[in-house]
Structure 1
Amino acid sequence: MNDEESLTELCKMIYDLDDIEKIKTKAKELLDRGVEPKRLIDVISHGLEEIGNRYESGEYFLSELIMGGIIGSEIINVLTPYLKSVETPRLGKVVIGTVKGDLHDIGKNLVVSMLRSSGFEVVDLGIDVPAQKFIDAVRKEEPEILAMSCLLTMAMDEMKRVIDELKRHSLRDKVKIIIGGRPTSLEFARRIGADAWGRDAVEAVKVAKTLLGR
């Protein structure tokens, strides 16, 4: 089985919620064969997206969605040593967090891993982050980019609240803003005054590089 076939199989194992240890073993085998960590992150992203699709269609329930998150986190743990072993130049600093009212972190964690592996310095504020914490972090860390994530539709308005607070504190022009998450879109990003939208972890890195002219 070649690398492409193995990556396809790994993706299927993820969205079929196969045994976690088998999935981790498969991921490590691919990494040990020299497959780039970024390609595995892409596979994780697609696998989790399919789990989300099945959840929305009613094929999967909350327990399956949670299991998908656990699988994603476990694979990220396998990837981390390989990501750290790759020396990359610093492209810029990113402050990132899941907005207030949303406790989901798997998508955000994928973006964090991808950004770090691509050479960005990342300050991860975690989940359920209130607007003031974003403001304080922008003021303290002076990042080039602020990234916000949410999975719940009810939390989307919090993204606009953060941007409005940045304006109120005269910080909006000091940072580029990227948003992402299942209920968001490019249209929504434009409507609330963000600079860009990332469809997934892979695209988020491309967008971040574009914003900084890299």
Structure 2
Amino acid sequence: MAKLQQSIEEFDSDLAVEAANEAITAGIDPIMAINEGLSKGMQTISNLFDEGEIFVPQILLAAEAFEEAVKILTSVLPEDLKKQASRGKVLIHTVQGDIHDVGKNIVKTMLAASGFEVIDLGRDVPVDEVIRKAKELEVDIISGSALMTTTMPAQREIIKALEEEGIRHKFKCLFGGAPVSPEWVAKIGADGYAENASEAIEKAKALLA
């Protein structure tokens, strides 16, 4: 477990692969190896990023190591247990009219590296496309970022569209972005607000707990 955690904290894909293979040989439960080893390493990375100790390139290297190890660990699981290994399915995008996606990409990487299955629709995504994909892929969470005050209303439109179709109860809606606030998210009837990537992970976990 310590070696799995260390491999992520040191951005070392080779060590992650080695540790994952050792865990399988030792008969360690793969889901436990992911949760108690790899995910703990990713939590360290998340904290360091929030404190400004590391930057986006290191996050991407840590995520790569995480994904390599997860691939090995889940290869021995039957399909039904593979689904259990996933924390849930998140549909992520930058809202209609908004082309800023740096923050969204960091959140996507961190969610994926924390065990979520993430579907990225990209930027400037029309509301009806978000709803269509959420239904088609049967996601658990719809996450949308707005980086301008002029595009924030698209978050409200997502909630409204879900309500009009009578499917609001099927999805948790998690929103963020520079001008977005907890008050705005509460006002439009969404389920959660996240200020940064690590908060997005914690909120996503809590929403699906």
By the TM > 0.5 criterion, same fold? yes
Separation (CA, whole Å) in 2 of partners of 1:135 and 1:46: 35
C-alpha displacement at 1:207, in angstroms? 0.6
Post-superposition offset of 1:118: 1.0
Corresponding residue number in structure 1 for 2:66: 83
- CA-CA distance at 1:169 after TM superposition: 1.4
Residue correspondence of structure 1 range 1-214 to structure 2 within 5 A = 30-32=10-12, 36-45=41-50, 47=52, 72=56, 74-87=57-70, 89-213=85-209
Cα RMSD between the aligned structures?
A: 2.5
AA aligned opposite 1:36: G
Distance 2:104 2:160 in 1: 22
Deviation readout 1:131-189 (Å, 9 max, x if unpaired): 01111011101111111111111110111011111111122111011001111111110
Distance 1:126 1:45, change over 3 A: farther
Q: Deviation of residue 86 (structure 1)?
A: 3.6
Is the CA contact 1:147–1:178 (under 8 Å) kept in the aligned structure 2? Answer: yes
Asked whether the equivalents of residues 45 and 110 of structure 1 are also in contact (C-alpha less than 8 Å), the reply is: no
* Distance of 1:107 and 1:185 partners within structure 2: 16
How far is the alpha carbon of 1:83 from its aligned partner? 2.4
Q: Is the 8 A contact 2:98 2:151 kept in 1?
A: yes
> Would the aligned equivalents of 2:60 and 2:109 in 1 still touch at CA under 8 Å?
no
SS at match of 1:31: coil
- Between the aligned partners of 1:180 and 1:170, the Cα distance in structure 2 is 24
For the 8 Å contact 2:42–2:114, the answer to whether it is kept is: no
Moved more, 182-191 or 34-43: 34-43
SS at match of 2:150: helix
TM value normalised by structure 2: 0.70
**2:66–2:113: 8 Å Cα contact kept in structure 1?**
yes
Unpaired runs of 5+ residues, structure 2, are: 1-7, 17-39, 75-84
| Residues in 2 aligned to 1:156 and 1:162: alpha-carbon distance in whole angstroms | 11
Gaps of 5+ in 1: 1-27, 48-70
TM-score (norm 1): 0.68
The secondary structure found in structure 2 opposite 1:209 is: helix
